[in-house]
């Protein structure tokens, strides 16, 4: 199910520049994502990466404990309009795609490369696929968002037309996210993206109109990670994409902007937080193991509305980078034979609670 990719410098952004119990999936421990040195990747037809590169993201997410993605919301107050907001979200889930929210793991997700300090850096070319009439300030050149990126030559963008790719360097405490990334004529290029410096202390969003999500929030931060599921616990907030977000002029922190369009007075603003009612007994729910992990995370850290899409959707880290390195997609085992479109069946969307607008804003 496709994540809609709008003009990422939306009207709001153009004007500016111009964030318990554990269920372990059976067998998951043996499916841990590898850190595979070059010599062990000398398999015909498969990419090779620098020594120490890891073809998946770190467990527990990319950002530190002070970020919006790690904020405990169990004791947060409830939005006065929570009932209407939750009803609207529940309607969006129940009326589309057989009443099951999407679990975007096969397409419209992102691959995450945790690169070593020794990874060579290259400049990423700007593919002006949106036909802008100007070069966005700060994108290219010295210190630019696309300058000196430690991206492996044979990195694999996630499947789908969004072609998203995330590069994380713990050594330099930096994160890059790219939209429509591809390698052309031996050189990397992307249509849009951005860089976050000092990731460990960052609030978890991009500034100045950069970043691949419509809200400017980190796209990869709220994804269900491979290592999260292997460990049996998601220890960060989750990105939530909705179908009919409120018009772009109304959004809630930590969103930095919006591409919403609905003028319904009860439309969900991008950036709004939801949590699963902490009184819900997750163990009693008839859910897949992954959906139970999502439910526990939603009770403690909640969902953050990051984007619009053709269906209510969660994002999972793509397994295609691991498959490119090892020949095996880890999600095949982690989902235990459940199709990706059935992973979230039975999730109690009607038991969510909306948090106040701009909750947690300093």
Q: Which helix (H) or strand (E) holds 274?
A: strand 273-276
Q: Which helix (H) or strand (E) holds 16?
A: helix 11-16
Q: How confident is the model at residue 126 (pLDDT cuts 50, 70, 90)?
A: very high
Q: Tokens 């969902």 label which residue? A: 303
Q: Which of 35, 62, 34, 194 has the alpha carbon at shortest distance from 124?
A: 194
Give 65-103 pLDDT, tens digit per residue: 999 999 999 999 999 999 999 999 999 999 999 999 999
Q: Where are the alpha helices (DSSP H) in 264-307?
A: 289-300
Please state the rounded mean pLDDT for residues 144-159: 95
Please state the rounded mean pLDDT for residues 338-351: 98
Residues 6+ apart with CB under 8 A from 209: 8, 9, 13, 14, 16, 17, 136, 216, 257
Question: How many other C-beta atoms are found inside a 10 Å radius of the C-beta of residue 159?
Answer: 17
Asked which of 14-18, 60-64, 238-242 is least confident by mean pLDDT, the reply is 14-18
Asked which of 13-17, 102-106, 107-111, 136-140 is least confident by mean pLDDT, the reply is 13-17
CA distance 201 to 219: 17
Please state the rounded mean pLDDT for residues 338-346: 97
Q: For the purposes of burial, counting CB atoms within 10 Å of the CB of 214, is it exposed (0-12), middle (13-18) or buried (19 or more)?
A: buried
- Any bridge partners for residue 308, and if so which? 242
Q: Is the pLDDT of residue 268 over 70?
A: yes
Helix, strand, or coil here: 86?
A: helix
Sheet holding 182-184, edge to edge: 125-126, 187-190, 182-184
Please tell me whether the peptide bond between 259 and the residue prior to it is cis, using omega within 30 degrees of 0: no
pLDDT, residue 41, reads: 30
Do the Cβ atoms of 8 and 179 come closer than 8 Å? yes
Give 313-324 pLDDT, tens digit per residue: 999 999 999 999
End-to-end CA, the chain:
35
Please report the DSSP string for 87-153 in residue order. HHHHHHHHTSGGG--EEESSSS-BEEEE--TT---BPPEE--TT--SSPPTTSSSTT-TTSSB---T
Asked which of 10-24, 142-156, 268-282 is least confident by mean pLDDT, the reply is 10-24
Do the Cβ atoms of 266 and 85 come closer than 8 Å? yes
Asked which of 5-9, 168-172, 290-294, 310-314 is least confident by mean pLDDT, the reply is 5-9
For CA atoms 125, 129, 134, 137, give the dihedral sign: negative
CA distance 79 to 212: 28
Which pair of structure tokens corresponds to residue 250?
Answer: 């109304």
CA distance 89 to 87: 5
CA atoms within 13 A on the CB side of 49: 25
CA atoms within 13 A on the CB side of 135: 10
Query: Percent of the chain beyond pLDDT 70?
Result: 85
Q: Please state the pTM of the whole predicted model.
A: 0.86
Q: How confident is the model at residue 53 (pLDDT cuts 50, 70, 90)?
A: low
Residues 6+ apart with CB under 8 A from 91: none
């Amino acid at each position: 199910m496709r994540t809609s990719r709008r003009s990422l410098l939306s009207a709001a952004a153009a004007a500016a520049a111009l964030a318990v119990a554990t269920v372990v999936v059976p067998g998951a421990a043996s499916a841990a994502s590898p850190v595979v040195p070059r010599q062990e990747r000398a398999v015909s037809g498969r990419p090779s990466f620098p020594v120490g590169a890891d073809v998946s993201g770190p467990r527990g997410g990319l950002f530190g404990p002070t970020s919006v993605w790690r904020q405990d919301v169990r004791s947060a107050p409830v939005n006065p309009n929570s009932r209407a907001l939750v009803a609207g979200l529940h309607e969006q889930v129940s009326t589309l795609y057989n009443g099951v929210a999407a679990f975007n793991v096969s397409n419209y997700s992102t691959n995450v490369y945790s690169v070593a300090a020794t990874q060579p850096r290259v400049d990423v070319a700007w593919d002006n696929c949106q036909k802008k009439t100007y070069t966005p300030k700060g994108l290219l050149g010295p210190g630019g968002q696309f300058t000196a990126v430690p991206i492996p030559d044979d990195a694999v963008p996630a499947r789908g037309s969004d072609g998203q790719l995330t590069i994380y360097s713990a050594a330099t405490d930096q994160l890059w996210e790219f939209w429509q990334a591809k390698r052309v004529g031996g050189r990397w290029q992307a249509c849009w993206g951005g860089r976050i410096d000092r990731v460990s202390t960052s609030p978890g969003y991009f500034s100045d109109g950069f970043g691949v999500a419509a809200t400017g929030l980190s796209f990869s931060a709220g994804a269900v990670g491979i290592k999260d599921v292997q460990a049996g616990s998601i220890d960060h907030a989750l990105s939530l994409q909705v179908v009919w977000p409120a018009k772009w002029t109304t959004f809630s922190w930590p969103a930095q902007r919006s591409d919403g369009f609905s003028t319904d007075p009860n439309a969900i603003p991008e950036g709004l937080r939801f949590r699963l009612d902490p009184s819900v007994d997750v163990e009693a729910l008839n859910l897949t193991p992954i959906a139970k992990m999502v439910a526990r995370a939603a009770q403690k850290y909640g969902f953050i509305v990051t984007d619009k899409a053709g269906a209510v959707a969660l994002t999972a880290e793509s397994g295609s980078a691991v498959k490119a390195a090892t020949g095996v997609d880890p999600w095949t085992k982690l989902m235990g034979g459940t199709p990706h479109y059935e992973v979230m069946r039975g999730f109690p969307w009607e038991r969510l609670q909306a948090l106040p607008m701009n909750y947690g804003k300093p």
